[in-house]
Amino acid sequence: MTRKISFSQAINEAMKLAMRKDENVILLGEDVAGGAAVDHLQDDEAWGGVMGVTKGLVQEFGRDRVLDTPIAEAGYIGASVTAAATGLRPIAELMFNDFIGSCLDEVMNQAAKLRYMFGGKAKVPLTIRTMHGAGFRAAAQHSQSLYALFTHIPGLKVVVPSTPADAKGLLLSSIFDDDPVIFFEDKTLYNMKGEVEEGFYTIPIGKADIKRKGSDLTIVAIGKQVHTALKAADMLVEKGLETEVIDPRSLSPLDEDTILSSVAKTGRLIVIDEANPRCSVATDISALVADKGFDYLDAPIKMITAPHCPVPFTPVLEDLYLPTPEKVLHAVAEMIGDESFVAV
Amino acid sequence: MPAEIIMPKLGMSMEEGTVVEWLKKKGDPVKKGESVVIISSEKIENEIEAPEDGVLLEILAEQDETVPVGKAIGYIGQTNENVERSQSTTTIKQANQETATSVETMKPIEIDMKRQKPRVSPAARKLALEAGIDLNSISGSGPNGRITRADIQKAIQAKRSDSGFQLKRKPEIATMEQKPMNQTGVTVKAITGMRKVIATRMFTSLQQSAQLSIHMRADVTELLEIQKKARANLIDEQDVKLTITDFIAQATILALLNHKQMNSIYQDEHIHIYDSIHLGIAVALENGLMVPVISHAEKLSIREISRKIKDLSLRAKEGKLESEEMKGSTFTITSLGAYGVEFFTPVLNPPEVGILGVGTVTDTPVFVGEIVQRRSLLPLSLTFDHRVIDGAPASKFLSTIKDYLEKPYKMLV
């Protein structure tokens, strides 16, 4: 049975199901319960995270398993790594991915390395949920998309879902994965609704999803940009082009086969990634196709990304910063040399 | 061949240099070892010497222009070596450079080569390679004229709709099209109209059949006497002037009736043998040729044939033939006798399997028994399609024509 629920409800449901399934699953982060040790708060008055994503969990699982932490990322992320290495399955909420600077050593040098450095005897079944994405008027320190940082580090898995159904299945896979997973949630998607299966199910990490079939052009889009790609695909139908939209869903591991076989079919690739353009997932996927799929290409690869600058606070500039379907059409016009594709 | 003045590498870290000043102007004479240009890297200025005697033919990098190390900045050569000439030597150099070991000197050349090649997408290049399509024969539809996969797919389709034989030949034609160097006074005409039809039909004919020609001489001494008498006696009655061609046509028609397989066409892997003879007569025109057809020639008397030939060739020359009158021939006669040619190898008029070439009558001393006589010999050339006819039956057919021409009374029976 499916029903329409929001992206944040799907994530909440996944955590609930995981915590019911395995008592080793705990949740910790800033405000995930909604006010640590504030006893006068009634049950449903607890915040449940800054966006309400963890709402209701403290009521069901109690304060032993849903822990409000101090505003000290190095502290609770470090605690999560240790808890994971010693037998729990923690879900740590790093409120904004922009805060990784405060706890990068715990993630990069501890969580990612322990299994390798202990010859496989240690494992770190940790999931770090974190918000990313621009378009929320949250300025330069709360709007970045830093998944490329983690994709660069071996030992970490990186998941970026684009729909409620994917978010639920992938989060359950992440929680029960024995390796550390960085799970990205675009804050502007939280209210997006979609059909989601009831009950427990998983979606394998490392398997891309073809969100739309097409024969003339492949768009690989990350996270929220999948929806930009789908809108552009609708517009391109009017121009006689059938676009295949691929959602990698996880950036590490990356489903290279699905991307390459799509480009083999269409001969053209656009990558949409709202992160900054240098050393990014967009450049990584482009390099993959240029390297392993060179003979498939019938046009230069185009990347639609943010400019190489911080996310602006002024709404006008923030809107310009993000990829749009119109930018996709411009890229297609360049690829096929047909100016009529450019929306006027 | 002009010599290049190269941007030299003046230090370990130097990757590019700037032209400070040309000491010579374009066209100035220079001596080997004489300074022609001052260049600078970040640290030093240097005078560059002429690599050989000559004149400064060309300046490629102007003052203040910065170019990579190893790239030519000018040419020195002889006065008669113009710019065009030096460009062509660049092409020769490019070819030579492919095997050169010095990476530095190759650098600028590689850039030039890229410019000359057509832009091709990787997918298109791979597909073209697999399908044996010559990229130079395709114009690209992509941005900046880039050849795309769709362009190659189109070319493959075009190739399929052609015959297999023609396709494999195409690259060879492309190489034939290279123009000779230093050629002036060329008139280039588009191939249109009748020339195009002839070009296509003759090329197809030679590509798509197995042609060979055999030759014989027919002694037409008697025939010529009969022809003269007939001409003298029949002329007043019906305005008929029988020519030797009329008799050759008649002999051919009779021979075809005896050797039906020569009166056939080869089409769609089948041989179609016809009862009726539709005889094509090649007529030379000022700028081409036409082959009007005498249909049901086996039903006509020699007089009617004579009239028909005259009428058709006259109207062919005036351009007044109906298109129906040029279709459906089953065998063709062509003659170069009027131009003094004896034997030749006529090209089949497809889809026919035979064509008779008629040469010029030549008076020749011939043994008749033990006595040498002056005889008039007619050279005959028969081209046939060996896919349909073998050498022996073709020879028998030609012998039959010869027999009719040598014993004209047989044509009456």
B68 interface with A at CB cutoff 8 Å: no
Q: Can you tell me which residue has the tokens 């059949």?
A: B209
CA distance B153 to chain A (A): 12
Would you list the DSSP string of B83-146?
HHHHHHHHHHHHHHHTT---HHHHHHHHHHHHHHSPPB-HHHHHHHHHHT--GGG----SGGG-
**Choice between B135 and B98, residue whose per-residue pLDDT is larger:** B135
Q: Out of A40, A142, A227, A330, which one is annotated catalytic?
A: A142
Of A295, A299, A335, the CB nearest to B126: A295
B408 and B247 Cβ atoms separated by less than 8 Å: yes
Residue A40 known to be catalytic: no
State how far the Cα of A313 lies from the Cα of A298, in Å rounded to an integer: 39
Q: Does residue B96 have a pLDDT over 70? A: no
- pLDDT of amino acid B90: 43
Q: Domain residues of chain B, as ranges? A: 3-92, 108-190, 206-411
CB-based contacts of B159: which residues, under 8 Å, 6+ apart? B131, B133, B167
Q: Does residue B170 have a pLDDT over 50? A: no
What Rg do the C-alpha atoms of chain A give, in angstroms?
A: 20
Q: Which of A260, A265, A292, A298 to mutate to test the interface with B (most CBs of B within 10 A)?
A: A298
Nearest to A9 by CA among A17, A67, A116, B377: A17
- pLDDT of amino acid B98: 38
Q: Domain residues of chain A, as ranges? A: 2-197, 209-336
B255 interface with A at CB cutoff 8 Å: no
Comparing A275-289, B250-264, B315-329, the range with the smallest average pLDDT is B315-329
B3-92 domain in CATH 2.40.50.100?
yes
State how far the Cα of A164 lies from the Cα of A197, in Å rounded to an integer: 10
Amino acid at the residue B155 = A
- pLDDT of amino acid B84: 46
A209-336 domain in CATH 3.40.50.920?
yes
A334 interface with B at CB cutoff 8 Å: yes
- pLDDT of amino acid A37: 53
What mean pLDDT is predicted for residues B211-216? 95
Q: Which of B120, B121, B130 to mutate to test the interface with A (most CBs of A within 10 A)?
A: B121
B43 band by pLDDT with thresholds 50, 70 and 90: low
Q: Does residue B233 have a pLDDT over 90? A: no
- pLDDT of amino acid A45: 65
A299 and B142 Cβ atoms separated by less than 8 Å: yes
Which CATH fold would you assign to the domain A2-197? Rossmann fold (3.40.50)
Burial A310-324 (b: 16+ CB within 10 A, else e): ebbeeeeebeebbbb
Q: Does residue B290 have a pLDDT over 90? A: no
B139 interface with A at CB cutoff 8 Å: no
Of B124, B126, B142, the CB nearest to A337: B142
Contacts of A335 in chain B (CB under 8 A): 143
State how far the Cα of A36 lies from the Cα of B281, in Å rounded to an integer: 110
The residues of chain A scoring below 70 in pLDDT are: 35-45, 341-344
* B122 to A294: CB separation less than 8 angstroms, yes or no: yes
Give tens-digit pLDDT for B101-115.
333 333 333 444 444
CATH node for B206-411: 3.30.559.10
B148 interface with A at CB cutoff 8 Å: yes
Residue A69, token pair as written in the block: 């932490």
* B124 to A335: CB separation less than 8 angstroms, yes or no: no
B144 interface with A at CB cutoff 8 Å: yes
CB-based contacts of B190: which residues, under 8 Å, 6+ apart? none
Nearest to A37 by CA among A21, A58, A55: A58
Burial A259-294 (b: 16+ CB within 10 A, else e): bbebbeebbbbbbbbbbbeeebbbbbbbebbeeebe
- pLDDT of amino acid A42: 59
- pLDDT of amino acid B134: 86
B301 and B250 Cβ atoms separated by less than 8 Å: no
Q: Does residue B69 have a pLDDT over 70? A: yes
CA distances from B99 to A1, B1, B93, B95, B96 (A): 69, 19, 10, 8, 6
**Choice between B173 and B57, residue whose per-residue pLDDT is larger:** B57
Comparing A39-43, B83-87, B395-399, the range with the smallest average pLDDT is B83-87
B108-190 domain in CATH 4.10.320.10?
yes
CA distance B84 to chain A (A): 33
On the question of a common fold for A2-197 and A209-336, the answer reads yes
Q: Where are the alpha helices (DSSP H) in A87-194?
A: 104-105, 114-117, 147-151, 164-175
B126 interface with A at CB cutoff 8 Å: yes
Residue A32 burial by Cβ neighbours in a 10 Å radius (0-12, 13-18, 19+)? buried
**Choice between A130 and B162, residue whose per-residue pLDDT is larger:** A130
* A299 to B126: CB separation less than 8 angstroms, yes or no: no
- pLDDT of amino acid B172: 43
- pLDDT of amino acid B371: 93
Nearest to B269 by CA among B219, B317, B208, B344: B208
Contacts of A240 in chain B (CB under 8 A): none
Mean pLDDT (chain B, rounded): 81
| Percent of chain B surpassing pLDDT 70 | 84
Nearest CA in chain B to A300: B121
Chains A, B: CB contacts within 8 A come to 36
The helix (H) or strand (E) run that includes residue B296 is none
B124 interface with A at CB cutoff 8 Å: yes
- Bridge-based pairing of strands A269-273 and A89-96 is unpaired
State how far the Cα of B226 lies from the Cα of A315, in Å rounded to an integer: 109
CA distance A292 to chain B (A): 12
- pLDDT of amino acid B47: 83
Q: Does residue B83 have a pLDDT over 60? A: no
- pLDDT of amino acid B187: 79
